[in-house]
Each structure stands twice: as structure tokens, then as C-alpha cells.
Amino acid sequence: KAGVTQTPRYLIKTRGQQVTLSCSPISGHRSVSWYQQTPGQGLQFLFEYFSETQRNKGNFPGRFSGRQFSNSRSEMNVSTLELGDSALYLCASSFGVREELFFGEGSRLTVL
């Protein structure tokens, strides 16, 4: 059974650019959530999707957005990148609400 797959694993962007990250959840999982991890702030919740609907959103600016497709795959987008957006972006999937979370390997974003 395949795990959570995130692409790309590594990427380098410059300030002002935008980036799209992709996440394929475990087959059968309908909930996908995104987290930002930095050494200074730890793991911070970005947003959570279930059946193509965003049900929860963390305290991040509107430059951070996401969506979920009918096959449960999810993307997140960050526009007008800032240096502070450099982080490991993690995607997690679960079968449903309050179920066990399974994480992908993450996408390491570096903003220059």
C-alpha cells in the first residue's frame, strides 16, 4: 500500500515567485492536511481538506492557498514568495476526522 506522496521533494525559488506543491494521499483517505515546519516555529497547521472542501484553516496570510481534487489529491500554492516562506512543507492524510495521521516526506522549499 503506497504511502503519502509529495512532489517535488526539493525546490528553490526567488522572492516574488509562486510555487505549487502536490500531495497524493494514501488510497482511500479523504482528509488531507498541510503543515509548515521551520526550526523556529515547529509544525504549524496550514489547512485541511475533506472531500474537496476546505474545512479548517490555520493562521497564515492569503498568499497560502490550497485545493483538493475529486480523487483526494491536493495541491497548495504560495504566491509572492518571501524569504520567511523557506520551510519544509508536510502533507498528511487520514481516513477521516480524528483518525491516525500519515505524513509524506515533505517538500523542502528554499526562497532566495
Partner 1 sequence: KQEVTQIPAALSVPEGENLVLNCSFTDSAIYNLQWFRQDPGKGLTSLLLIQSSQREQTSGRLNASLDKSSGRSTLYIAASQPGDSATYLCAGTPSGGSYIPTFGRGTSLIVHP
> For residues 37 and 79, which CB has a smaller minimum distance to partner 1 in the complex?
37
Residues in the interface with partner 1 (CB under 8 A) total 22
Contact between 109 and partner 1 (CB under 8 A)?
Answer: no
- The span from the CA of 26 to the CA of 9, in Å, is 17
Tell me which residues in 36-55 interact with partner 1 (CB under 8 A).
42-43, 45, 48
| Candidate list 4, 78, 81, 111; residue touching partner 1; CB under 8 A | 4
- The span from the CA of 27 to the CA of 52, in Å, is 15
Task: Say if residues 58 and 44 touch (Cβ distance below 8 Å).
Answer: yes
x-marked contacts with partner 1 along 69-108 as a string, rule CB under 8 A: -------------------x-x-x----xx-xxxxxxx-x
Cell of 91: 502533507
Q: How many residues does the chain have?
A: 112
Residues that bind partner 1 (CB under 8 A): 4, 6, 33, 42-43, 45, 48, 56, 58, 88, 90, 92, 97-98, 100-106, 108
